[in-house]
Structure formats: C-alpha cells, structure tokens
Structure 1
C-alpha cells in the first residue's frame, strides 16, 4: 500500500541483461595462446646444439650449407648466436638433423664464416638481434584477432539471451487476466 498518495509506487526495474562471463573468456584466451605457442614451436624445424669444435670440423670438411650469426646483445659484446644448416647428404653424420645452433665468441664465428664461404656455402651476419616491430606484430596480431572474434561472439550470445528473456516477460504480461474470486 502506498503511504504517500502524492507519490506513485516506484518499483525497481530488474536488469535482465547478463554480464559477460570473464572467466570463460580468460580460459578460452589461455587455451588459444597455448595452441598458438604449441603450433609455432611444432612448425619450426628440429635444431641440435653442436659444440664449437664440431662446427669447426664440419666447416673444414665442407659439410655446412649455410651459416649466419647475430649478436646476442646486452653486456655480451663478444658473444654471438650461430645458426646454420648441414647439407642433406651429410646429415647422417650429425644425428640426421640438418639445423644447428651454438653460442660462441665472435672471432671463432667469423673464422668459421670465412671457411664456409671458401667452400661455397652461404654466409650472413645479422646486424642486430632483438625484438623488432615486425616480430611483435606477427605474434600479437593473431591473438588480437582471436580476442576480437571471441568478444563479438560472446556479445552476440548475450544479446540473444536477453532478447529471449524480454519475449518471455512480455508474453507473461499479456496472459495476466484480472479475475475476481
């Protein structure tokens, strides 16, 4: 009963809109990132870590098809990361893996590059190592696209659910008949 006749009854409106379930979105995001990282690692070729003397011997024998090195960066001014590839016909000597890598001193790497170049292999010196804008974009853009798609899907699903509740609520109002008992 209304105690104040000047003021009509004010009922609270119930908000039937469902809030997005952030836990499901977070769980889905973790799954998607895990699958992305797994596929990225799985699609890279198998690489073995050879010792400096093994790389030197392979270069002396002419088994290296290509080799490159890049500076590690930071306080390690004399260390480089060496990446290379063995010729397919010699891979049996190196555990049937053609890719190799090693961190070594820059003077040793430069000497090996000269030997490989003398045998006709391809050599390269990567000027700068580290994170570039392209590496960030290549890794970040797919995740952002997946998040946007998930957001759109969840938003549309929530809108459809709220419309269903509105329809049911309206039908309930139509069926109310005032009856005198």
Structure 2
C-alpha cells in the first residue's frame, strides 16, 4: 500500500485506528499532538494511507544542561543551557511494519532537524527512549545515552549532517 509523503498533521487526518504497540505513543498522538502543535510546542509530521495516519514524529526545540550531554557532544565551552532539538516521538502503525515507511520517516526527521539547526542553531538531536527496546533502536542509529539517564539519548547534529551528506540526502 502506498503512503503519502510526510506532511504536517491536521484535523483532517484520521488518528482513531493508529496502533504502534506502545500505548503512551498512541495516546499522545490521539489526545495531545494537535493541541501541542497549535500551541507551538512541537511540529507533528505524519504519513498516511488515504487519510489514515500510519506513522508520525514530533520535533521541537529544547535546551539541555551541559552536564546531561555525553562528553563527545559537549565540546569546547558551550552555552548553558545548550540549544538542541527534541525528536519527542517517532512511531509507526504495526500494520505497516517492515515496509520501509518508518525508515523513511526517520530519515525525514533527521533531515528536518539538520535544516532546522541551520536556521536556529542546535548542537544535538535528543530522544527520550520509552523502553529498553527503544534504547537499542536509537543506539543502533548512532545515538549515545546521557551519563545522567540511559533513556535520554543524543546524537550531534554535525554528525547527523555528515551521515546524510554521505548518503546523498543533503
């Protein structure tokens, strides 16, 4: 089944049957995503199949205390707090698993993070893993856990940009 290109979430998108297997991520999409977006807290990007959302992510600015960042990302004399971007959610409907949609959506999120940092600044992209499986997922993609919290992972935006350039995506 073909899906849409990534686009910003609107009221017209059907969220009712979305199920990624993680109740907290399902609930956030269905109850908070539009409100958070309307209030300027995050931008929610979705892919859909004829209006039915099958994947999404949320991207927003944030700032982190230097001590929370892994040493390899916290270099030089950074400001306090350090500007970063938060990839707050990333989820795919279980019915669409294994079709490459999630990989494409993650690639889109990484590209937008790099482009956003070029406009506003930002040292790293951070994610908050929902469980141990998510820690493994992000670690396999080059993210490093915070010394303060293993569920808080970071990857430097210059590193992400270099990877995207090497793949011909930037």
> Which TM-score band (shorter chain)?
under 0.3
TM-score when scaled to structure 2?
Answer: 0.20
Looking at CA atoms only, which structure, 1 or 2, has the larger radius of gyration? 1
Structure with bigger helix share is 1
Structure with bigger strand share is 2
RCO greater where, 1 or 2, for CA within 8 Å and sep 6 or more?
A: 1
TM-score when scaled to structure 1?
Answer: 0.19
